[in-house]
Amino acid sequence: MTGTPGRPSHRDLPRTDDLDHPARLLLHGLRPLAAAIARSRWRVQVRGAEHVPRRGPVVLIGNHMGWLDGPLMAILSPRPVHALTKTEMFKGPMRPFLRAAGQIPVHRFEVDPLAVRTGVRVLRDGGVVGMFPEGTRGDGAVRRVRSGSAYLALVTGAPVVPLVFLGTREYGGPNSSLPPVGSRLVLTYGPARSFPRDDWPRRTSVVSAVAEQHRQMLLETLHEAQAATGMVLPGPIPDKKDDRD
């Protein structure tokens, strides 16, 4: 049995009927407390949350410039987010915590079929998958993107929503820096856009073209957010010798 265009099945390619949905207990249960802590430390503003569909699958894509981006995506978005998180974070005590919080480990610099299929599983279950298409923290200007979000959108037909962060890294600070207490942090969601499901096999040229459209969605949202808030990006990461951080 295969899925219809409006209702994909876990037996469609790539098959996901052999995978479990990531854990949800901490992801759902801790969000109110975590959001309250964030708001007590910084002046947090969320703009455009109405662009996130209230139900059904969503691919949420964000620009990436600071350590805070991932946690804020998960705890402040209108709906719980299963974010693709670099495998390097799944070490020591963080490993069980991130697993319980429903985050999806991903190898960023090679094709990771398990991470991709897990993301597809979440979307076919009607959930939200979060991604940072730039692949690494930088200045947040979205100069290039990887194709993972495009692939997920084409496989599932899930609408894509851009999310732009401003203020999440200290200006000129390293990629692990946190903004000073009391700083203004703004999350801006842009309009959702749907991409028709593409039959298997998916052509590289099609995936690349959709990835570029995702980059343009982020850039449009970034420009709108900067114009509306008067905020600027934090600049390049100082003394950055390697983009694998």
The Cα 110–Cα 64 span in angstroms is 19
Q: In what order do the strands lie in the sheet with 82-86?
A: 43-47, 184-189, 160-166, 58-62, 128-131, 82-86, 104-106
pTM above 0.85? yes
Q: What pLDDT is attached to residue 108?
A: 82
Average pLDDT over residues 8-13: 86
The Cα 116–Cα 229 span in angstroms is 35
Contact between 189 and 48 under an 8 Å Cβ cutoff? The reply is yes
pLDDT, tens digit, 9 for 90 and up, residues 65-121: 999 999 999 999 999 999 999 999 899 988 999 999 999 999 888 888 999 999 999
The Cα 17–Cα 25 span in angstroms is 21
Q: Centre a 10 Å sphere on the Cβ of residue 212 and count the other Cβ atoms it contains.
A: 14
pLDDT, tens digit, 9 for 90 and up, residues 131-142: 999 999 999 999
Q: What pLDDT is attached to residue 71?
A: 93
- CA-nearest of 163, 82, 88, 77 to 117 is 82
